[in-house]
Structure formats: structure tokens, C-alpha cells
Amino acid sequence: MSLPPIVVFDLDGTLADTAPDLISTLNVIMDREGLPHVPFETAREMIGAGSRALVERGFEAAGREMTPAHSDELFRLFLTIYADRLCVESRLFPHVEEALATLADRGYRLAVCTNKVELHSRRLLEGLGIAGRFAAICGRDTFPWFKPDARHLTMTIEAAGGDPNRAVMIGDSRTDIDTAKAAGIPVIAVPFGYTDTPVSELGPDIVIDDFDELAAAVERLPGHGRVVGATGIEPVTLRV
């Protein structure tokens, strides 16, 4: 029996706008360290590489150096604080639920590959009401590797029971695009997430403006999945 095609999603900035809760947690840390809050729009561009990087970037913005030991300490503190505010203001982006339902109806397996820790990812997706849609939810700590290491994506596909030769990655940042490219898997980008460079400049195969365009974009990819080495598709903004 052949494996089903699979669509793998990033979480923060792709499926959900989690910036308010992440940034409020960061600023609790900044308060405790006697540092000024990071303005929302500045902090929003710091999201995308995981909680540890977010804290380190916050300190960098404040001009404060951080030792590896201090980074470890504040990373653990961040996770503890954030656990109590995972889904206070975080919300799904428009049409996410409909897009997931459409893909599932068309036979695609669905999974999440995120640099958020797995427990937080599961709890957030449960709070947002869509956890049950995914055959696998794989976080920063699920495997020994995490994005942009290609193994985080390929092992997520394996864990979900999807066909790696018919896989597609959906993301919002350089990290997601680089991960997919390293795995030889096509990537569709959304422009409303967390990135300091427009995703259209980062070389995705397709850019969509709304999740109501997703199913058509996925099915536009040759083979609905992977082409080893390079996809050979010109990056475009799809209009449907």
C-alpha cells in the first residue's frame, strides 16, 4: 500500500498568529532582568527560530551580552512562563481550518514541524481546536535535530506516515524555506508571518496570500511533492 501525500506546516506565523503571547512572555523576562521592553513590531521580527533565539535577540536589542549559562537559564524560565499563556491572544490565521479540511478531504496527510517545543505545540494546537487534524506534531525537542536541519522535516514526514516523495512544506520564514530546500522538498510560503525579509525574496516555490489559496497551490506542484535536488519551479505569487 502506497503512502499518502503529506503537507507539513510550520506553526508560529504560519498556522497561527502567536506573536502577542510570545512577545508578552519575552517582556516578562526583560522586566525580570531590568531591561526595557522590546516594542511589539521589533519583537515580531525576532520570532521564528524558537524561544531561546527570541530571548537572545531581545537581549541583543537591549545591548546586553548573554553567556551560554544565562541563555540556558532564561530559556527554561521562558518555557515556564509561556506555558501559562500559550493561547491567551494567539489565534489561527483566516481560513486555516477550511484549508486543513480541504486537504484532508483530498487525501493529504497533515503534520506540524515547528521549533516550538513539542508539549507547547500540542497544547497550543489543542487550544486552537485543530490538534486532531495532524498525524504528527513535532517540535524542537522531538528529535535530536531541529529546523533548519533537514532531518527535522524528513523525520516529521516519517512520523506522520506520509510519502516523502509527495511532500510539501508550508512556512513563513527563512528557516522554513531553508529546511525544505535542504530536504529537497517544495515549499509554499505565506507572507503574513514572522520574517525580517519578505518571503518572496527567499526563494520559495510559491507564495500565497491567504489559506483559501493553499489547496490549489499544493496541487499545482509537480507530483504534489518532492523533486530531488531542486523543484524547478519559478517562485510566483499564486492568485486563485
> Catalytic amino acids?
10
Q: Strand order in 206-207's β-sheet? A: 136-138, 109-113, 6-9, 167-171, 187-189, 206-207, 236-237
User: How distant, in Å, are the alpha carbons of 99, 106, 122, 128, 156 from that of 94?
Assistant: 10, 20, 20, 13, 25
Q: For residues 11 and 18, what is the distance between their CA atoms, to the nearest angstrom?
A: 9
Burial of residue 63 (number of CB atoms within 10 Å: 0-12, 13-18, 19+): exposed
36 C-beta neighbours (distance < 10 Å), count: 12
